């Protein structure tokens, strides 16, 4: 069995608002990228078996430098296939990893659960590891940074 990594954060807003930010092109573009990157949604078919396709582009100098040093293009197209869509509680998807130099394409899973709590919404992300510890840690740091960006969008002080 694959060990999942757990990331959680509570936001001072209702689950419907978090769901909208997580499941609309405008919402995704407002926070879904680590600092130094932008995201542009190309396709969003929000249903089980549907696809999210977006382009993430390095824009800040440090992000550009990282991408170049890793042997990666400045813009990468990412694909996710939804495996569970239960508005506004659970969103699960498989992400395609086809951007790692010298590594075969593979998928990993993520499950996001939104739970109403006093004063807001608790978000729990369960994320499967990537092919090695270095890339897994990069993924987890990126997800934590994205959740900080989401906090800024909903008005929480970081």
Rounded Cα distance, 110 and 21, in Å = 17
- The reported pTM is 0.86
* Per-residue pLDDT at 2: 65
What CATH number matches the domain at 5-154, 3.40.80.10, 3.30.530.20, 2.60.40.10, 3.40.980.10?
3.30.530.20
| Position 99 pLDDT exceeds 80 | no
- What is the model's pLDDT at position 18? 97
pLDDT at 157: 37
149 has a pLDDT exceeding 90: yes
Share of the chain above pLDDT 70, in %: 97
Q: Going by C-beta distance under 8 Å and a sequence separation of 6 or more, which residues neighbour residue 135?
A: 100
Q: 26 or 70, which is more confident? A: 26
133 burial class (0-12, 13-18, 19+ CB within 10 angstroms)? exposed
**For residue 79, what pLDDT is reported?**
96
Going from N- to C-terminal start, the domains of the chain cover 5-154
Q: What is the pLDDT of residue 158?
A: 34
Q: Hey, what are 136's tokens?
A: 């897994």
d(CA 128, CA 4): 5
User: What is the Cα–Cα distance from 32 to 81, expressed in whole angstroms?
Assistant: 16
Smallest CA-to-CA distance from 46 within 103, 123, 112, 132 is with 112
Task: Show the tokens assigned to 16.
Answer: 């419907």
**Alpha carbons 139 and 158: distance in angstroms, whole number:** 20
Mean pLDDT of the chain: 92
């Amino acid at each position: 069995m694959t060990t999942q990594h757990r990331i959680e954060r509570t936001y001072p807003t209702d689950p419907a608002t978090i769901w909208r930010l997580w499941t609309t092109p405008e919402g995704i573009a407002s926070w879904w990228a680590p600092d130094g990157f932008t995201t542009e949604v190309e396709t969003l078919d929000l249903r089980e078996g549907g696809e999210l396709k977006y382009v993430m582009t390095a824009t800040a100098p440090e992000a550009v430098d990282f991408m170049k040093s890793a042997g990666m293009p400045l813009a990468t197209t990412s694909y996710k296939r939804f495996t569970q869509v239960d508005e506004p509680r659970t969103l699960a998807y498989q992400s395609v990893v086809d951007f790692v130099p010298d590594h075969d394409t593979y998928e990993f899973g993520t499950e996001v659960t939104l739970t109403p709590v006093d004063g807001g919404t608790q978000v729990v992300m369960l994320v499967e590891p990537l092919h090695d510890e270095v890339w897994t840690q990069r993924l987890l740091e990126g997800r934590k940074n994205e959740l900080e960006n989401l906090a800024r969008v909903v008005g929480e002080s970081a």
